[in-house]
Amino acid sequence: MKALQLTGWKQLPQFQEVATPEPGPGEVLVRIGAAGACHSDLHLFHDFEPGALPYELPFTLGHENAGVVEAFGAGVTGLDTGQPVVVYGPWGCGRCYPCVQGVENYCERQAEIGAAGGGLGRDGGMAPFMIVPAARYLVPLTDLDPVEAAPLTDAGLTPYHAIRRALPVLVPGATAVVIGAGGGLGHLAVQILRAVSSCRVIGVDTRDSGLELARRLGAHDAVMSGPDAEDEIRELTRGRGAEAVFDFVGIDPTMALGAAVVRPQGHLTVLGIGGGTLPISFFSIPYEVAVSTTYWGTIPELFEVIALAERGDITPVVHRYPLDDALDAYEAMRSGALEGRAVIVPEA
């Protein structure tokens, strides 16, 4: 079968002909319906020297995957072939304390394991089939189209996890700011906030089209990123600022904006891996602001995200690309031309 693989560091991925995998004991073979193209893959292609990441090359890309159960190996029970599923992305050891809670994104043995999951050191979903190492990574779908479901496993799950942590401050009357509101994760963050809280949502983006998308998906206000954004957010909140800021960009100016508009006792969560830094000193941010990064989410949270999507509360905006055109999808993302999520469809 044809697979889009990372074959070397500091270079674009390549199409390779590889053997169709067969599931071993405990493993599940998933026929891929769709694989999301994630902005973090661009960092994977360009930002790492050989040896910087504990991944062995080559491996098939695609860490946002949905499809149907094609076959499974010995010892797998409670699954039927033909069952539509999404694949939970970060694969831990399954036995440490975080893992047994479903928090495999923070597995304690990650350093020993090396690869972070399918598409991140092990073979992912940018191919007609992928092996999932354990049935616990599969969340069943009922009505959702795999093309709309695939982005939920990362572009949906990652903001959901961050928003869930901030829910105690997102009370009625509170404000949440989403920086990068037109992007793959940001456009889902806007919808998740509207679905799980009654807070006011302000979207921030660098593009008019991104602001328009944020508004269409439920943002109460949309603010152009730039020197005036801080004042505009202050004005919209009658000078109070925001209880929670979710920064899906993570560069110096966006982190500075977050620190400038977050309220005392608020949450400032950085999810974008733009490489920015935020200096922290006693007087540099309001009192009791929790500044944190987050990485992906948990297995139970993926069930919750799928439940939100199955009942129609959140819907990814997707652009379909056949597998042959996957590199065009990454280029569209790199150039900033893409809103929502690019999804690779192997059999399109």
Restricting to residues 241-300, name those near Zn ion by CB under 5 A. none
3-state class of 180 per DSSP? coil
Residue from the set 61, 99, 150, 289 that interacts with Zn ion by CB under 5 A? 99
Restricting to residues 101-160, name those near Zn ion by CB under 5 A. 107, 109, 154
Q: What distance lies between CA 78 and its chain's CA centroid?
A: 28
CB of 165 to Zn ion, least distance (A): 19
Residue 170, φ and ψ in degrees, nearest 5: -90, 55
Structure tokens at 332: 């569209």
CB of 301 to Zn ion, least distance (A): 15
**Could you tell me how many residues of this chain bind Zn ion (CB under 5 A)?**
9
Say if CB 269 and CB 259 are below 8 A apart: no
Comparing CB distances to Zn ion, the nearer of 40 and 83 is: 40
> To 10 degrees, the CA torsion angle through 257, 171, 192, 110?
70
Restricting to residues 169-208, name those near Zn ion by CB under 5 A. none
What number of residues does the chain have? 348
Span near Zn ion by CB under 5 A; candidates 40-48, 77-85, 131-139, 190-198: 40-48
Using the structure block, give the residue that is written with the tokens 């807070």: 199
CB of 156 to Zn ion, least distance (A): 11
Structure tokens at 12: 């674009």
CB of 249 to Zn ion, least distance (A): 14
Span near Zn ion by CB under 5 A; candidates 96-104, 122-130, 215-223, 286-294: 96-104
Residue 31, φ and ψ in degrees, nearest 5: -80, 120
Say if CB 109 and CB 54 are below 8 A apart: no
> To 10 degrees, the CA torsion angle through 296, 298, 303, 305?
-30
> Strand runs (DSSP E) across the chain, as ranges?
2-6, 14-17, 28-37, 59-60, 65-72, 84-87, 117-118, 121-122, 129-132, 138-140, 175-179, 200-205, 221-224, 242-247, 262-270, 290-293, 318-322, 341-345
CB of 108 to Zn ion, least distance (A): 5
CB of 64 to Zn ion, least distance (A): 6
Nearest 5°: the CA angle 216, 182, 258 is 115
What whole-number distance in Å separates Cα of residue 279 and Cα of residue 283?
10
Contact string (CB under 5 A) for Zn ion, positions 65-94, x = contact: ---------------------------xx-
CB of 112 to Zn ion, least distance (A): 9
Comparing CB distances to Zn ion, the nearer of 65 and 225 is: 65
Comparing CB distances to Zn ion, the nearer of 118 and 241 is: 118
Comparing CB distances to Zn ion, the nearer of 23 and 90 is: 90
Comparing CB distances to Zn ion, the nearer of 96 and 224 is: 96
40 binds Zn ion, rule: CB under 5 A: yes
CB of 243 to Zn ion, least distance (A): 26
Comparing CB distances to Zn ion, the nearer of 86 and 261 is: 86
Comparing CB distances to Zn ion, the nearer of 92 and 258 is: 92
Comparing CB distances to Zn ion, the nearer of 119 and 241 is: 119
Comparing CB distances to Zn ion, the nearer of 110 and 197 is: 110
Phi-psi group of 169: left, alpha or beta (phi > 0 → left; psi -120 to 50 → alpha; rest → beta)? alpha
Burial of 220 (0-12, 13-18, 19+ CB in 10 A): middle
CB of 46 to Zn ion, least distance (A): 15
Which stretches of the chain bind Zn ion, using CB under 5 A?
Answer: 38, 40, 92-93, 96, 99, 107, 109, 154
